[in-house]
Amino acid sequence: MDVDSVRKDFPTVRKGLGIYLDSACQSLRPDSVIAAVDEYYGEYPACGGRSVHSMATQVSIAVDETRERLASFFGTDDPSCYVFTKNCTEGLNTAAFGLGLRRGDVVVTTDAEHNSNHVPWLHLSERMGVGRRLARSAPDGRFDMEAFKECMGHDVRVVSVQHCNNVTGCTVPVREVAEVAHDFGATVVVDGAQAAPHVPVDLERLEVDVYCMSIHKMLGPTGMGVMYGRREVLESMGPLMLGGGTVGLATADGYNLAPVPERFEAGLHNYAGIVGTRAALDYLSRIGMDEIERWDRTLMRRILSNLEDVRNLRPVGPTDPDARGGVFSFNIDGLNAHDIAMMADSMAGIMIRSGMHCAHPFYTSQGVDGSARASVYLYNSLEEIDRFTDTVRHIAEVFGD
């Protein structure tokens, strides 16, 4: 991958507005995505799927083309299996509340899930008596297949796991999990927010039932997510919201649901976001997801190598860079995570995240208040990584306990 060429495509990088290492929260956007959004607002800012005039037709075509791009990008054949949401969280909630779980049904998750894949199931447990089992992670944060298997039983209706962890960077072997879950007749839901931007995802090969992602982590606009579902699963699910676009016909006394995917897409779409999604997928396809995964690994190896002898530094998760994806979380003895992030920004213009990263159960189970987190992507350079690690070393040696 020609990183120098890639970096020229991102306005904030060209302008030298700092070193952005917060892509696990949301990514930067290239010129082509920004231009696509501008084109929608400037050339055809209409509503798709309702009006029949020429501008509206152009929007409807763009929506259909984006679904087709999604199907191609994720290795599936049916574009109508892709539901537009505003983020991964909405997709996960749609699955949680739409699968028709009842008292006595059991959901299996892990102890390291993002709140978006934890709190909805917790809510169902508290309000409806749905059972929950947590598969415990290995001490370094890696997924423990044997612990997961011990949670399984014929009362398990849903298995819902992350694909890649947003704190440790550890990847869950989703296909193997799906095979075990399906043997027990369970539906498999996957939080793909951290994996979809960074690794090739072939949904046919993974054999999952529902896969959710945030497009704003994939070079796309904010307020855009996608929920993929196998057609038979989507057709059995109820929508999270009802209203315009979700029904075929409503009378004074009843209604019938619209077909998939429209039944899940209440109200007016984020059309600019959908157009930007298509541009983002095109950009990622030109670079190649294999290349992006390799570059992430190169950057992570550089971070771990540069910091391996730093006194007072405590990585969160495995110290093997090849097991971390694009995320490096850490603490420094004697310092609060927010202090680390603010010092990195003020001293060197380095932007990282700090706190519990919406992974509260992971941290509270360890008695830790959180961590600082640097997350890389295709537009980060080795020089930026060296500046980051030099800054962390300085903070640890001068201010650490």
Each domain of the chain, given as residue ranges in start order, spans: 3-27+288-399, 33-286
Residue 33 has pLDDT above 80, yes or no: yes
* pLDDT at residue 319 in the model: 93
**CATH fold label, 3-27+288-399:** Aspartate Aminotransferase, domain 1 (3.90.1150)
- The fraction of the chain above a pLDDT of 70, given in percent, is 100
Three-state SS for the chain is: CCHHHHHCCCHHHHCCCCEECECCCCCCCCHHHHHHHHHHHHHCCCCCCCCCCHHHHHHHHHHHHHHHHHHHHCCCCCHHHEEEECCHHHHHHHHHHHCCCCCCCEEEEECCCCHHHCHHHHHHHHHHCCEEEEECCCCCCCCCHHHHHHHCCCCEEEEEEECECCCCCCECCHHHHHHHHHHCCCEEEEECCCCCCCCCCCHHHHCCCEEEEEHHHCCCCCCCEEEEECHHHHHHCCCCCCCCCCEEEECCCCEEECCCCHHHCCCCCCHHHHHHHHHHHHHHHHHCHHHHHHHHHHHHHHHHHHHCCCCCEEEECCCCHHHCCCEEEEEECCCCHHHHHHHHHHHHCEECEEECCCCHHHHHHHCCCCEEEEECCCCCCHHHHHHHHHHHHHHHHHHCC
Question: Per-residue pLDDT for 366 more than 80?
Answer: no
Mean pLDDT across 82-104 = 98
Amino acid 368: pLDDT = 82
Q: What is the pLDDT of residues 205-257, one digit of tens each?
A: 999 999 999 999 999 999 999 999 999 999 999 999 999 999 989 999 999 99
283 versus 368: the higher-pLDDT residue is 283
What's the pLDDT band for 39 if we cut at 50, 70, 90?
A: very high
What pLDDT is recorded for position 367? 79
Residue 316 has pLDDT above 90, yes or no: yes
pLDDT tens digits for 126-142? 999 999 999 999 988 89
Q: How confident is the model at residue 173 (pLDDT cuts 50, 70, 90)?
A: very high
Q: What tokens were used for 296?
A: 């992430």
Query: What is the predicted pLDDT for the residue at 338?
Result: 97
327-347 average pLDDT score: 97
Give yes or no on whether 3-27+288-399 and 33-286 have one common fold. no
Residue of 88, 170, 212, 358 marked active site: 358
pLDDT grade for 157, boundaries at 50, 70 and 90: very high
Query: What topology is assigned to 33-286 in CATH?
Result: Aspartate Aminotransferase; domain 2 (3.40.640)
Q: Report pLDDT for 17.
A: 97
User: pLDDT class for 365, splitting at 50, 70, 90?
Assistant: confident
Tell me if residue 25 is catalytic: no
pLDDT at 112 over 90: yes
Average pLDDT over residues 103-125: 97
State the pLDDT confidence band at 103, using cuts at 50, 70 and 90: very high
pTM of the model as a whole: 0.97
